[in-house]
Structure 1
Amino acid sequence: MGQDGVEAEGSRTGPRQEHQGSVHSTTDRFLSTTRMLVQQVAQAGGAGAQAVVPESVLSSATRMLASMRDAVESAPQIGAELEIVLKEVHAKRLTIQAITAELAVLDDQLEILERSLAPLQAWSTQLSKVQHTLLHSLDLPAREKG
């Protein structure tokens, strides 16, 4: 597998990262353009509204817009929270992989121990049979004397 496996893995992650980078770049450009458009519309609307709308209505609208801006700015940063969740999920997957590897090693060790103990168990069974036979053969003459 060698170098070809590494190159294949790198080519699988490369386009994905490039795609994410282009999505971020496109999103940033879209947001920047949208901000500029909103500012221009607000300036044009503000100038036109000042000429037609009474000052009390304009001040209410200004307070409402400031309130909306504060609400948007105080909203949680979902992107940052999502990034943290993704890191946590990845860490948990790595933990599971490590535990799985440890369990596989432990299973191998237990298999070797089991195979190593099998002859000892057979020897122990044979010893028990010999002991039983010896004890019963020695008990017969003692009972005949009594």
Structure 2
Amino acid sequence: MHATVDAFVDSTRALVEAVATAGGEALGTLPTPVPTSVTRMLVSLRGLVDQMPPLTAEIDVVVRELHAKRLSIEALQAELATLDEQLEILERSLRPVVAWSRQWNRLRRSLTDALPTGEGTGPAD
């Protein structure tokens, strides 16, 4: 950006000098306020450019931020993959417990159905 502005300032200065030379030959002399105004404009423009941070620094910051976000996404994906593996292992571990629970409920029902349900069939006191 600085190089572009410097090139712009130099080409504007050359243009002003060329116009002053051409106009000076035709009119005699270019009035003093014109070169002074152009010089002030160029100085102001250069000052404005000097106040701006370099564009490459801003782009570098954005690129570093994007890279950091990608790294955090990769880390999150790794955590999710690990959690998925843990849940799969837990699910496989619980399958026998679920099967045993169902068998126990069937056994309990079959025992309840097989035993008589009378009040006098309990143990004697």
Same fold (TM over 0.5): yes
Instruction: Name the stretch that deviates more: 103-112 or 62-71.
Output: 62-71
The within-5 A match list for 1:31-50 is 31=3, 38=10, 42=14, 45=17
Per-residue deviation, 1:62: 1.6
The within-5 A match list for 1:1-146 is 31=3, 38=10, 42=14, 45=17, 52-138=29-115, 140-142=116-118
Runs (4+) off by over 6 Å: none
Per-residue deviation, 1:135: 2.0
The Cα RMSD (Å) is: 3.1
Give, in whole Å, the separation in 2 of the partners of 1:122 and 1:76.
Answer: 68
Unaligned runs of 5+ in 2: none
When normalised by structure 2's length, the TM-score is 0.69
Unaligned runs of 5+ in 1: 1-30
When normalised by structure 1's length, the TM-score is 0.60
Larger RCO (alpha carbons 8 Å, 6+ apart): 2
Cα deviation, 1:46-91, whole Å, max 9, x if unaligned, reads 9x66x73222222212211112212222334322111111111111
Partner SS, residue 54 of structure 1: coil
Give, in whole Å, the separation in 1 of the partners of 2:82 and 2:36.
Answer: 72
Aligned partner letter, 1:127: W
Q: Which has the higher helix share?
A: 1
Change in CA separation of 1:76 and 1:65 when aligned onto 2, cut-off 3 Å: same
Percent identity for Structure 1 against Structure 2:
42
Aligned partner letter, 1:79: T
Cα deviation, 1:15-53, whole Å, max 9, x if unaligned, reads xxxxxxxxxxxxxxxx49x75x939x65x939x66x732
Change in CA separation of 1:142 and 1:63 when aligned onto 2, cut-off 3 Å: same
